[in-house]
Amino acid sequence: MLLKSASFALIVVALTACAFAQNDSAIVVLGQGAAPTQVLVVDPPNDGGEKLDVSWTPTAQPGFDILKYEVLAAEAAEGPFKVLAEGDHKMTSSVITSGNGLRLEHDHPYYVKVVAIDSTSLAVPDSTNPDSVVVRFEKRLRRSESAVAGPFVPRAAWFNMNRLNILLLVLAFYFAVMFMVRRAKAGANIQFRRIAGIDAIDEAIGRATELGKPVMYVPGTQNIENIQTIASIQLLTSVAAKAANYDIPIIVPLNRAFMVTVAEEAVKQGFLNAGRPDAYMRDNIRYLSDEQFAFTSGTTGIMMREKTAAHFFLGAFYAESLILSETGFVAGAIQIAGTANTHQLPFFVVACDYTLIGEEYFATSALVTRDVEMMGTLKATDYMKAFIIACLLASLVLEMLGVQFLRSWFQVI
Amino acid sequence: MKREIPILITLVFGVFMIVQFFIPHPAVNDIANRLQNWAIIVISFSYVLGSANILRINGELVYRRAPGWPYKLVLVIAFFTMATPGLILGIAEGSWTNDRLFTFTYVPLASTMYASLAFYIASAAFRAFRVRTWQASVLAITALIVMLGRIPVSHFIWQDLPGIVDWIMGVPNAVAQRGILIGAALGAIATGLKVILGIERSYLGRE
């Protein structure tokens, strides 16, 4: 009898150990056990009605080894429910969006439930021997579902209040620009400090003229939708006009096919402005490749073969910046670079003769052309910058006094 | 009218794209997405122009036996070698064009080019760290500290060195970068406004 009881106990222990190593089918329990309670669904504000905030209270009953939670949603109370979010046992809220075959749209009703998944051991009779008193313990995953909550109808907002601060600043900037443009047109004296890199444009082109070698202008490696490329194209017209004045060719290697037409027009405009449309050479606007290093290789090849004497690297650059500028240095060219990509600035600073840093780069077009309206815009930028510096200083003082409203007002969500 | 209509189009679509940033409603976002898809379609057509540009310029130079024409010939041959199988066999992952020509041929070449950056950095750093002025001295000393602090055994040199490096990167370096970024962001907004408001019109080409 003792032996039989000991054997039974051993078998139970062994089978229990084995059972915990298994991962069998789940048992579903509705609205009880580990099921979360108080499922709360909120339509988050300031969105397009494609999200729902779901929160719940974990069961207060002890003894459940909850592994994870799943948040399910459906278009009807009876389902089919789709899992839209899941997380570990610590999770008590989640933001659900479209997924898993269910699209969350504004003005549509949705039903939500939360499932807690825990592991439990079940005693199962030994099916191989119906007369045996031995039972096996199997580990099962148990799904405890909350009650279905809903319907909830997400609404789409017509204005994102979280971005009100940006709107106000953009409007302030817009009015500052309009005001300064008007003042500039009225003849107000607008002065700016001299920027060595801008003054050096003439020097670079002059040197290329002395050597009788072409000028190279690289308008970055991004497409026209990049604001740095747009700024570069504005400047390309001015540089092309100066090159036309000195009667030297300007080579423009391009990294984007779309830029071919844009660059052709910009250079053509420059030659036209200089009164030398006949000197414009279409073949010098060269599309090389969309691939970053194929373009880099092609451009450095042009530098070395055609011995370009002045290089302008103005636009958005990435890893190719140093390869281009160092090759240009080796080729002995005078080099002017400008970019707003801060990580590339050190490379340009080291390898180029002049570097236009950040805002200087965007100011170049206005300072080169001396266009009244553009100068007004530039002045407005300066005033906006002064406003931001004032806000930073005020924020610094307020933070030290424990007041955080200015910092939180500037936060962008 | 030749200039007014493009300026009006730029104004309308530019303002719309700014406004949609503040409106999360799908009715507005769907139009914005559609406009962006139009841009992608227009840009994809530009590859025809790009290809024509490559063939016209380089083909002519090869034909005229201009200086350096063998390089241009290599470019034209490479162009057709990549384009023809791509058009016939497709460029999907696993295809002959993608695997043999792109992954096994172009990617190693590009990686080699990228790897050569290490040597460019070395030569540029050598020039930058030559102590000629007091600013260059500050740069050289700071760079030396950062480099020493970044090596795996930096704490054996001085246990506080990694902390000093973190301070240099996190305070003076971050402050300078943020200052540049604020100025650049304002410049970018100003450039955008200039284009949208028609103050800057050079993108329209000839007057």
Q: What is the pTM of this model?
A: 0.82
In terms of phi and psi (left: phi > 0; alpha: psi -120 to 50; beta: otherwise), the region of B198 is left
Q: How far is the C-alpha of A376 from the C-alpha of A372, rounded, in Å? A: 6
Angle between the B117-128 and B107-115 helix axes, to the nearest 10 degrees?
20
Cross-chain CB nearest to B186 (options A256, A262, A381): A381
Which amino acid is present at B132? R
Q: How far is the C-alpha of B69 from the C-alpha of A215, rounded, in Å? A: 21
Q: Does A43 touch chain B if contact means CB atoms closer than 8 Å? A: no
Q: How far is the C-alpha of A267 from the C-alpha of B194, rounded, in Å? A: 20
Preceding omega of A151 cis (within 30 degrees of 0): yes
Preceding omega of A80 cis (within 30 degrees of 0): yes
Instruction: Please say whether the beta carbons of B46 and A179 come within 8 A.
Output: no
Chain B residues lying within 8 Å of A182, measured CB to CB: none
Q: Tally A–B CB contacts below 8 A.
A: 201
Instruction: Please say whether the beta carbons of A69 and A54 come within 8 A.
Output: no
Instruction: Supply the DSSP symbol for A186.
Output: T
User: Would you tell me how many other CB atoms lie within 10 Å of the CB of residue A132?
Assistant: 12
Q: How far is the C-alpha of A144 from the C-alpha of A148, rounded, in Å? A: 12
Q: Does A48 touch chain B if contact means CB atoms closer than 8 Å? A: yes
Burial class of A54 by CB neighbour count within 10 A (0 to 12, 13 to 18, 19+): buried
Q: Does A375 touch chain B if contact means CB atoms closer than 8 Å? A: no
Which amino acid is present at A75? E
Chain A residues lying within 8 Å of B68, measured CB to CB: 305
**Bridge-based pairing state of the strands A250-254 and A215-218:** parallel
Domain segments of chain A as ranges = 2-152, 163-178+375-410, 190-370
Chain A nearest C-alpha distance from B88 (Å): 21
CATH architecture of structural domain A190-370: 3-Layer(aba) Sandwich (3.40)
How distant, in Å, are the alpha carbons of A181, A183, A184, A381, B194 from that of A188? 10, 6, 5, 16, 19
Q: Domain A2-152, CATH 3.30.530.20 — does that match? A: no
ipTM above 0.85, yes or no: yes
Q: Inter-chain contact A260–B53, Cβ cutoff 8 Å?
A: yes
List chain A pLDDT tens, one digit each, 413 residues. 444 444 444 443 443 343 333 333 445 555 567 788 888 899 999 889 999 999 988 887 777 778 889 999 999 888 799 999 988 888 889 999 998 888 999 999 999 999 988 887 777 766 666 666 667 777 778 888 888 887 899 999 999 999 999 999 999 999 999 999 999 889 888 888 888 999 999 999 999 999 999 999 999 999 988 999 999 998 999 999 999 999 999 999 999 999 999 999 999 999 999 999 999 999 999 999 999 999 999 999 999 999 999 999 999 999 999 999 999 999 999 999 999 999 999 999 999 999 999 889 999 988 888 888 888 899 999 999 899 899 989 999 999 999 888 888 888 77
Chain A residues lying within 8 Å of B191, measured CB to CB: 227, 230-231, 234, 362, 365
pLDDT mean across residues, chain B:
89
| Amino acid A27: pLDDT | 52
| Amino acid A19: pLDDT | 37
